């Protein structure tokens, strides 16, 4: 007697892709790093093992003399890879103003970023995060920032790297101004990193919404939480709805900057909040 073949197993329904993925910005642990309790080389391991996060955003301050140290960068890249951690970007500060009114100083600032583009490339990142600082009138600063960012983006494009700008003080904390700068640069590898904070007197929801069309990353800034685990300065549900409704479904980086909770607890509180909001929006 020939036994009938078993019926084929029903195909499992495909898992729905998450609305966004969660990464960790190194600045969340800046006090821990500055105090020497964590070394930059161990940051990927801490992200994965301590916080269960598998993508990271570095800050150049924590390895500022290593931009051209191929051995160090290879070690850092390997440590991240060994942990299954994706390196996303390097946040670059203290390299001069890309919109400096002095042409020579502006050129120097642009060139100061070149080694960090190369370092980020070695690490497997997609971009460096820069600032668009300048001086002068609204229009003058736009023109100067466009020049600096355009020239840096042209250099980065040779290595298939991105240059992304955060709202990070000065006129860059004005969403209309920064969106105008990126629109004028008009290069596919130059975009924004909207940060939920850093808008000062500018409405944060309006500012993020203005920057989202150019976003190549999102920074979920957090400071304090209420008894229900909600961030007290930013309505995360409202903000993340803006993010996903814009069509952005990439990495959202935790950037805890508060003082009421120890840094590790602040990171975990922000992660839990993002996960709750994601579940709510994805339902």
CATH architecture, range 21-282: Alpha-Beta Barrel (3.20)
- pLDDT attached to residue 2: 44
- 234 CB-near residues (< 8 Å, 6+ apart): 196, 197, 204, 221, 222
Q: Domain spans of the chain?
A: 21-282
Q: Is 104 helix (H, G, I), strand (E, B) or coil?
A: helix
Average pLDDT of each block of 10 consecutive residues along the chain (283 residues)?
Answer: 49 74 98 98 98 98 98 98 98 98 98 98 98 97 98 98 97 97 98 96 97 98 98 98 98 97 98 98 91
CA atoms of 123 and 68, how far apart (whole Å) = 12
CA atoms of 200 and 233, how far apart (whole Å) = 12
98 DSSP assignment = T
* pTM confidence score: 0.93
């Amino acid at each position: 007697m020939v036994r009938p073949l078993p019926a084929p197993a029903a195909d499992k329904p495909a898992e729905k892709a998450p609305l966004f993925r969660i990464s960790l910005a190194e600045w969340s642990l800046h006090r821990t790093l500055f105090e020497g309790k964590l070394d930059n080389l161990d940051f990927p391991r801490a992200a994965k093992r301590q916080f269960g996060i598998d993508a990271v955003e570095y800050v150049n301050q924590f390895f500022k003399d290593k931009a051209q140290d191929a051995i160090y960068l290879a070690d850092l890249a390997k440590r991240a890879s060994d942990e299954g951690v994706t390196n996303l970007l390097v946040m670059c500060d203290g390299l001069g103003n890309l919109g400096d009114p002095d042409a020579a100083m502006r050129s120097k600032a642009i060139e100061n970023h070149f080694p960090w583009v190369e370092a980020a490339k070695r690490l497997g990142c997609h971009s460096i995060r820069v600032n668009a600082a300048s001086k002068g009138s609204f229009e003058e600063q736009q023109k100067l920032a466009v020049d600096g960012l355009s020239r840096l983006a042209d250099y980065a494009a040779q290595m298939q790297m991105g240059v992304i700008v955060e709202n990070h003080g000065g006129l860059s904390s004005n969403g209309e101004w920064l969106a105008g700068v990126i629109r004028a640069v008009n290069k596919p590898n130059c975009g924004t990193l909207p940060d939920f904070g850093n808008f000062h007197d500018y409405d944060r929801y309006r500012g993020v919404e203005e920057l989202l069309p150019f976003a190549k990353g999102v920074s979920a800034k957090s400071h304090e939480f209420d008894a229900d685990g909600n961030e007290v300065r930013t309505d995360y549900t409202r903000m993340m709805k803006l993010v996903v409704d814009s069509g952005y479904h990439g990495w959202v980086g935790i950037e805890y900057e508060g003082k009421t909770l120890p840094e590790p607890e602040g990171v975990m509180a922000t992660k839990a909040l993002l996960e709750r909001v994601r579940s709510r929006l994805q339902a």
